Structure 1
Amino acid sequence: MQDVRCATAEEVAVLRERVARVEGGHDHLRDGLDSLSRQFSELRRDLTQAIDENAACTRQEIMSRVETIGRSTQQRDAEVSDRLARIEGGIRLANWLTVTVIAIATTLLSWARMGDSFWHMWAHILATHA
């Protein structure tokens, strides 16, 4: 059998000192991990906030550009509509003038033929009675 040996007071003191140092290191590591955990939480919060702010700015910028494009499109549509209205007005005027000229020419030709016919008829009547 083995002899049971008891530690001396000096050995117990050295052992307690080592345990205290290990516990102190453990407390220091725990404090460091807690500090890192807080820093990571703050970093995640700050990153999330920055991303949300950037997304809001980007969304606002996109909507502003969409509104600008919409306004310019409406302006171009209005300009094109005005041009088309002027062109249609010009075409209507040209058609009206063409129809009017044709009607006047036809009327004048008709009157000329009627006058010519009356002239020949009177000339024939006067020639037969003379």
Structure 2
Amino acid sequence: MTDPRYATAEEVAVVRERVAKMEGGHDNLRGDMQDLNRQFSDFRRDITHEVQENAIQTQQKISEMNDRSSQRDGEISERLARIEGGMKLTSWVTMTFIVLATGLLGWGQIGDAAWSFCKRAFGYGP
């Protein structure tokens, strides 16, 4: 077996220096990680806030669009109701004139037939 070798004071100082550097680097990494976590939390909070504001604005715009759409639907329904009423009136007037004209023509034919009958019956015509 070989005899154990002991480190010199210089070697121990070098090792201690390296360990101190590593510990310092570790502390720096820990600090950087904490900074990154804090920045990420701030970023997440800001993004969440912006998304919520955008959602509220979008809901307001959708509500406004629905209101405008409902108003337009009401206006269109009123116009269609007026058009329908006009069409019903036109149809009623047309049917009334057709019935009157048919009736007048029918009475005219009845009158002509009665006149012809009277002329023959009382000898006024051929």
* Residue 24 of structure 1, CA deviation: 5.7
Q: Which residue of 2 aligns with 1:52?
A: 48
Q: TM-score, normalised by structure 2?
A: 0.75
Residue 74 of structure 2 aligns with which residue? Answer: 78
Structure 1 residue 99 corresponds to structure 2 residue 95: yes
- Relative contact order higher in (CA < 8 Å, ≥ 6 apart): 2
Are 2:99 and 1:121 aligned?
Answer: no
In structure 2, stretches of 5+ residues that fail to align are 1-7
DSSP-derived class of the 1:127 partner? coil
Letter of the aligned partner of 1:126 in structure 2? F
Question: Percent identity, aligned pairs only?
Answer: 26
Q: Any unmatched runs of 5+ in structure 1?
A: 1-10
Residue 51 of structure 1 and its aligned partner are, at CA, apart by 0.8
Which residue is 2:3 aligned to?
none
- Alignment partners' CA distance in 2, 1:61 and 1:34: 40
Alpha-carbon RMSD:
2.6
1:88 maps to 84
1:74 maps to a residue whose letter is: S
Residue equivalent to 2:4: none
Q: State how far apart, in whole Å, the 1-side matches of 2:79 and 2:47 are.
A: 47
Where 2:123 maps in the other structure, the secondary structure is helix
- The list of structure 1 runs, each at least 4 consecutive aligned residues, that deviate by more than 4 angstroms after superposition, is 14-28
